[in-house]
Chain A
Amino acid sequence: MSNVLIGVALHCLLVASLPILLACVIRKTKARMQGRPGPPFLQPALDLAKRLKKSDTVSETTSWVFRANPLVGVALTVWLALVLPWTGATPILRGSGVADLILIVYLLAAIRFFAILAALDTGSAFGGLGASREAALSVLIEPGLVIGLAAASLSSRTLDLSIGLGSPVRPTVAILSAAAFLIAALSELSRMPIDDTTTHLELTMVHEATILEYSGRRLALIEWTVMIRTAMFFGIAAVLLVNGMFGPDAATNPLIIGTGVIAAGLFLAVFEGVSVKLNWRRVPSFVAFSTALAVMSAFVAAVER
């Protein structure tokens, strides 16, 4: 029992720290990739702290939806981070069914739904543009996300990811599912090559266009949830891969998974340095890779079982 408690405590600690650490690693690596020294390592964390202290400006034309969106985002994201097995340590309420795959996917969709509503609520043309793109993306990535994760947890015969992701899985299935999941994650997180997080060009934005009107504390909350979601998606991919290659024991080792998350961050930073953003018309075919890989993974998992 005390082992479980320690595991849960460790999980909570990692949920609080790993996302911010990851953001720092990505920012610094990206700067080094461009031949710049970059800001101090902890700058993303310091920015967050600074913004949390600031008051925010809210447009008079907005309703409660705009003001509530960051809170909804934080609540749902933190909840997902607590119940999903993405750090290698024990998630809370493990095995109780709260980490049900379908539920998780729709909670993720709920976060996006509120983000879209809030963007429309501002009445700005950019918000509308971003909202429409965000909605189109969310439709595209869902199949890859659902099928990929379902294939990986097929052998456990449960949809509860807190158990399913730790069940024995073939390396082929693990690799295919992790690849499908990562591609879907790049789109879900609005990273390159779907969306450039550093751009100032409103007309090209997806996610950034939906949060243009936010400032101060609320902006900090949104940025924090993005950090958590980034780490969480990388963590799940790391768990999938480590589980497939080295077995369930390695996949429940926080040290290995934590290293995996940071490694994924380094990879992302290098990738974002050298890649070119896709033409918006080409995005569906890129995301289709995710669905294709997930379907392949499901086939392999079903045949090899």
Chain B
Amino acid sequence: MIGVEVSVVSLDEWVPTISARIRRKGWRYGHLTCRRDEEGKRRLEILLLNLTTSTSEVISAAIPSGQADIPSITPTVPAAHWAERAVGDLWGIRADGHPAFSSVILNEAWPTDVIPFHRAADGIPAIRNTHLLSAHGSGIHEIPVGPVHAGIIEPGHFRFTCIGEVILNLEIRHGFQHRGIENRLATTPWRLGRFLAESASSDETVANGLAHAVALERLSETRVPDRANSIRTISLEIERIANHIGDLGGLSADVGFAIGAATFARLRGVALGLGQTLAGSRFQRGLICPGGLAWDIEDTRLTDLGRSLAELTHRIHEACELFFTNPGINERYQGIGILPLASVEELGIVGPSARCAGSHYDARRHFDHALYPGFVTNIQPQTTGDCYARAIIRRDEIMDSLDILSEVLKNVPKTSVLAEMPDDLAPNGIGIGIVESWRGELIHWITTGPTGTISRYVIRDPSFQNWIGISLAGRNNLIADFPLINKSFSLSYAGSDL
């Protein structure tokens, strides 16, 4: 169980407190956001995670009404880079001392007087700044890409500044899919919220559903039955396998490796089919619910799953052989889009994108969700931090997840699958759900009010933390290689826009 410790500080102590506490051994940055307490006061809050004890801490500072700026912690905790900008967009609060403070969620298409969480009593909000960093000089040109892209992908704007064919800087502008999902989750009765939570980013349906469930179970101190935990693990790993296979296909397609692309695309279909076998829908919608599972899975389905799994494992090995022994693939991906370990740690990059550079961080090793952290995963991190390492990590994680699946399937306990949840959640509580989705650490952070209803719901998708990584990894690479770098990170736009 994650225990959450709350310390209240004043805004003056904000930066020194965080700087001191995040340096303690075993702690890492989780997320930074703002919420409104029962008196209508804005509170700036940061979530810190302790990997050794699997606990977390929230540091909270009230922002006096009438004040529109806060001291920025980005200079000492660079991982909060995007989070402070998002607070700026949604609350009209300016982070003083932030090195590149500009809009990240609400772009120029939004009227500047639209500030979703701002209230008149808060005083005059900070003016939104939609400036993009640009460079000038001979041979320098800008390439705008998106938000409308070729192919069926999500909208996001990339502004490249290039010297000839080489990328000098990349500015990323999001917000074209901002749906106000956090606010909706805070105003929807929690029993209905799971459908909304799952749709935060649809390729992470299971992970979002699970993080949502875990956070609510913390708040109500519900213990999930063993069978539900086993099936949750199966469900989560199927999602991981399907998406990693899809990414390897994307990596093939982006260098014109047609056979690889076709093979992986077909196998992704097979892997999604496992989801269909398990949950009746390829994205496994609606299966996980707070307290356990929404329905029990018949044993015949689990047997079928085991059979399809053996076949898939064999095919995956063949396809990976085809991909990783191809000299063209090796040449195209090695040494491209390097994100060094130092940057990974500074910026709090999570998931495969971090493990490709030598980081060991995997939420499955530290935080309680499904059968984890009791269930060991054996993934060795890569060290080079380039596109090739990100491909290798995906392959290794597919193999590891296949092993986990066959291991879990051997012995699924025969208990009930749903624990009763109380109607009222703990008042004035904090529930944190941390799940290692296929993209990395996914956090659902729920705060309840004095009556036990949700007062603030925060989702920190791994993409939100990792987008800045793409920006850095792209620098000094050929512009023609950028699509490969982008694909090797494979981030969600919806998950970061929310």
Q: Are B142 and A125 in contact (CB under 8 A)?
A: yes
B251-265 vs A, Cβ < 8 Å mask (1 yes, 0 no): 001111111011100
Q: Does any Cβ of B come within 8 Å of A277's Cβ? A: yes
Complexed CA–CA distance, A198 and B253 (Å) = 9
Q: Does any Cβ of B come within 8 Å of A36's Cβ? A: yes
Question: Which residues of chain A (254-303) have a CB below 8 Å from chain B?
Answer: 272-282
Q: Are B259 and A34 in contact (CB under 8 A)?
A: yes
Known: A276-B326, A277-B256. A203 touches B143 (CB 8 A): yes
Q: Does any Cβ of B come within 8 Å of A160's Cβ? A: no
In-complex Cβ contact of A273 among B165, B258, B331 (8 A): B258
Q: Are B483 and A35 in contact (CB under 8 A)?
A: no
Complexed CA–CA distance, A276 and B262 (Å) = 14
Q: How far is the CB of A39 from chain B (nearest CB, A)?
A: 15
Complexed CA–CA distance, A272 and B263 (Å) = 15
State the interface size on chain B (CB cutoff 8 A).
30
Q: Are A204 and B254 in contact (CB under 8 A)?
A: yes
Q: Are A200 and B151 in contact (CB under 8 A)?
A: yes
Q: Are A129 and B255 in contact (CB under 8 A)?
A: no
Complexed CA–CA distance, A274 and B258 (Å) = 7
Known: A125-B144, A200-B150, A203-B483. A276 touches B263 (CB 8 A): no
In-complex Cβ contact of A280 among B257, B331, B478 (8 A): B478
Q: How far is the CB of A277 from chain B (nearest CB, A)?
A: 4
Complexed CA–CA distance, A200 and B298 (Å) = 43
B297-339 vs A, Cβ < 8 Å mask (1 yes, 0 no): 0000000000000000000000000000010110110000000
Q: Are A35 and B151 in contact (CB under 8 A)?
A: no
In-complex Cβ contact of A199 among B141, B256, B482 (8 A): B256
For residue B262, which residues in chain A have a CB less than 8 angstroms away from its CB?
34-36
Of B143, B258, B328, B332, chain A has the most CB atoms within 10 Å of the CB of B258
Q: Does any Cβ of B come within 8 Å of A247's Cβ? A: no
Question: Which residues of chain A (97-135) have a CB below 8 Å from chain B?
Answer: 125-126, 128-129
Q: Does any Cβ of A come within 8 Å of B207's Cβ? A: no
Q: How far is the CB of A214 from chain B (nearest CB, A)?
A: 14
For residue A281, which residues in chain B have a CB less than 8 angstroms away from its CB?
478
Complexed CA–CA distance, A200 and B478 (Å) = 18
Complexed CA–CA distance, A282 and B331 (Å) = 10
Q: How far is the CB of B322 from chain A (nearest CB, A)?
A: 9
Q: Does any Cβ of A come within 8 Å of B20's Cβ? A: no
Q: Are B332 and A204 in contact (CB under 8 A)?
A: no
Q: Are A196 and B479 in contact (CB under 8 A)?
A: no
Q: How far is the CB of B3 from chain A (nearest CB, A)?
A: 47
Complexed CA–CA distance, A276 and B482 (Å) = 16
Q: Are A276 and B329 in contact (CB under 8 A)?
A: yes
Question: Which residues of chain B (460-498) have a CB below 8 Å from chain A?
Answer: 478-483
Q: Are B483 and A30 in contact (CB under 8 A)?
A: no
In-complex Cβ contact of A279 among B263, B331, B482 (8 A): B331
Q: Are B259 and A274 in contact (CB under 8 A)?
A: yes
Q: Are A202 and B331 in contact (CB under 8 A)?
A: no
Q: Are A193 and B256 in contact (CB under 8 A)?
A: yes
For residue B256, which residues in chain A have a CB less than 8 angstroms away from its CB?
192-193, 196, 198-199, 272, 275-277
In-complex Cβ contact of B150 among A34, A202, A272, A274 (8 A): A202
Q: Output the nearest chain B residue to A126 by Cβ-Cβ distance.
A: B143
Q: Does any Cβ of A come within 8 Å of B266's Cβ? A: yes
Question: Which residues of chain A (170-193) have a CB below 8 Å from chain B?
Answer: 192-193
Q: Are B483 and A204 in contact (CB under 8 A)?
A: yes
Q: Are A201 and B483 in contact (CB under 8 A)?
A: yes
Q: Are A201 and B150 in contact (CB under 8 A)?
A: yes
Q: Does any Cβ of A come within 8 Å of B1's Cβ? A: no
Q: Are B480 and A280 in contact (CB under 8 A)?
A: yes
Complexed CA–CA distance, A275 and B145 (Å) = 27
Q: Are A279 and B481 in contact (CB under 8 A)?
A: yes
Q: How far is the CB of B59 from chain A (nearest CB, A)?
A: 42
Question: Which residues of chain B (142-188) have a CB below 8 Å from chain A?
Answer: 142-145, 150-151, 165
Which 5 interchain pairs have the tightest Cβ spacing? Answer: A276-B328, A34-B262, A196-B256, A277-B256, A200-B150
10 A-B pairs, CB-CB below 8 angstroms?
A: A125-B141, A200-B151, A201-B150, A201-B151, A203-B145, A272-B256, A274-B259, A276-B326, A276-B329, A281-B478
List residues of chain B with CB under 8 Å of any chain A CB.
141-145, 150-151, 165, 253-259, 261-263, 266, 326, 328-329, 331-332, 478-483
List residues of chain A with CB under 8 Å of any chain B CB.
30, 33-36, 125-126, 128-129, 192-193, 196, 198-204, 272-282
